[in-house]
Structure 1
């Protein structure tokens, strides 16, 4: 990406849900600036100041990786240093909990940074492609409050956006020790590990579970039974 000093109406930054989506979008827009939002905010802990030093340390701990390794993929440094160079942002995310929590964090950061430009949300099919199902403009205003209420206080917050509100409800359940996923694991405790992981990914697709998250849930439930 180039750090353009001159801002024009065509100066757009595309922010995707991750590297797979970013790679797909690059095939369609090879000349455009594309940034993967490499976060999984539904995992681990966070803090009030997004992309601060404390935030970075907490996120590295959430992924159980060294801080420097985390910083190599984090979008934070680029967003903090180059955001002002873009007057329009296109956000590409699908409709599961994983994406909803990341979107809330990203929009909260844009409020924190007092981003003045236009924001356009592109709702994607949840199949790794960049097939756009719907699009709408985003108006900032309540997302920092939402981020604080949901991710820090673990309390309900109504955004008025159906997809985000569904994601919030799933997230609040997800962060409980006794949730839909752990209850399913407890009821199917004799299943082989890989089989159970695959079942969880399919049955709880609305959460956007990763293999690693599913395996952690299984380990936690089985350790508790010992």
Structure 2
């Protein structure tokens, strides 16, 4: 069946700049429209039409960045008007195409879906080293003394440390998963530590050892610049939002850079951030579970919407797990990592959902 799904994907990709027709796809595949739609959703975790929408809009950002006329882009990607394209663009990215064109900003990648893809770790490690070296040449001040690099998680921290990628700067990991469990308004307060430890079913002492102690440089040393290395997925962006909220709450006055990336490509997008809104957004999204009222970078806007969607009892991941619950756990985990890269959950979060889904159906 995977071969048939890939054939559907390849056909869709060839026709992204044509008027999409489920009937035409079904005629090409030799199956009914319902069967094609059902099997695609089952394998990909989203509908065909959603896939087409996200692929078209993501590809259109490249045209915007190259200065192409917005009307021409709208027509090229089969929108009925510039207004229709602009509405769809803002719904997904939180800003208008004209705003993006004036100042291109990081967005979540939505690359072509490939069934059963494989990527060598050796190849990725080399790509990361080359990418970081290029960043050092372009922006050496971010790799100097009096600079702290905050990395999303212990694995990334150790990888950067072992390869000595940070130049003369300091670095520390943020070992959290802020997209799950309750939090508190004041980041890293005693109440925060107690709430997070409880959510992770851990003791306060262990939580301090794993999360707080590794951040010692952030708490005890002044820095002229802080560089935040966080992936573009929802998991990483909610961690990033938490760290930005802390920087505001602590009165940090230096420069802040976000180096965002997609794990399986590791093409880093560098953006200098201005503090002032993130503590309020953190409270709205992660505490009150409301959509942010402030303008955000598209990548964080998309992540906030994904986070709020994941709070619903029957979100896309739960539905996917329910339809594949009979697969061996190890195989199901691989499929979840492949199908939902924009969410960014780790095995711990997915295993909780798998066990819950199986318990409900037992």
TM-score norm. by structure 2 comes to: 0.56
The residue number in structure 2 matching 1:5 is none
Distance 2:269 2:167 in 1: 22
Q: Would you say 1:123 and 2:253 are equivalent positions? A: no
Q: Deviation string for 1:9-49 (max 9, x for gaps)?
A: 84111111112222232222364311101111011110111
Q: Is the 8 A contact 2:148 2:218 kept in 1?
A: no
- SS of equivalent to 1:14: strand
Distance 2:263 2:179 in 1: 17
Q: Would you say 1:63 and 2:200 are equivalent positions? A: yes
Once the two structures are TM-superposed, the CA of residue 201 in structure 1 deviates from its matched residue by: 1.4
Moved more, 197-206 or 72-81: 72-81
Moved more, 61-70 or 74-83: 74-83
Distance 1:132 1:75 in 2: 29
The residue number in structure 2 matching 1:39 is 176
- SS of equivalent to 2:259: strand
* Correspondence 1:29-108 to 2 at 5 A: 29=166, 31-75=168-212, 78=216, 81-83=219-221, 85-108=222-245
Q: Deviation string for 1:48-83 (max 9, x for gaps)?
A: 111011110111122222211110121476266315
TM-score norm. by structure 1 comes to: 0.88
Q: Would you say 1:175 and 2:327 are equivalent positions? A: no
Q: Would you say 1:15 and 2:150 are equivalent positions? A: yes
* Correspondence 1:104-115 to 2 at 5 A: 104-115=241-252
- SS of equivalent to 2:268: strand
The residue number in structure 2 matching 1:142 is 277
- SS of equivalent to 2:182: coil
Q: CA RMSD in A?
A: 2.0
Q: Hey, which of these two has a bigger chunk of strand by percent?
A: 1
Q: Is the 8 A contact 1:146 1:159 kept in 2?
A: no
Moved more, 173-182 or 131-140: 131-140
Q: Would you say 1:160 and 2:296 are equivalent positions? A: yes
- SS of equivalent to 1:207: coil
Q: Is the 8 A contact 1:94 1:123 kept in 2?
A: yes
Between the two proteins, the alignment pairs up a number of residues equal to 215
Which gives a bigger RCO, structure 1 or 2 (Cα 8 Å, sep 6+)? 1
Q: Is the 8 A contact 2:225 2:256 kept in 1?
A: yes
Q: Is the 8 A contact 1:185 1:218 kept in 2?
A: yes
- SS of equivalent to 1:141: coil
- SS of equivalent to 1:28: coil
Q: Runs of 4 or more off by more than 6 Å in structure 1?
A: none
Q: Is the 8 A contact 2:172 2:217 kept in 1?
A: no
- SS of equivalent to 2:281: helix
Distance 1:97 1:203 in 2: 14
Match of 1:188 among 324, 332, 347: 324
Distance 2:283 2:230 in 1: 21
Q: Would you say 1:217 and 2:353 are equivalent positions? A: yes
Q: Would you say 1:208 and 2:347 are equivalent positions? A: no
Q: Deviation string for 1:139-159 (max 9, x for gaps)?
A: 011101100110011111153
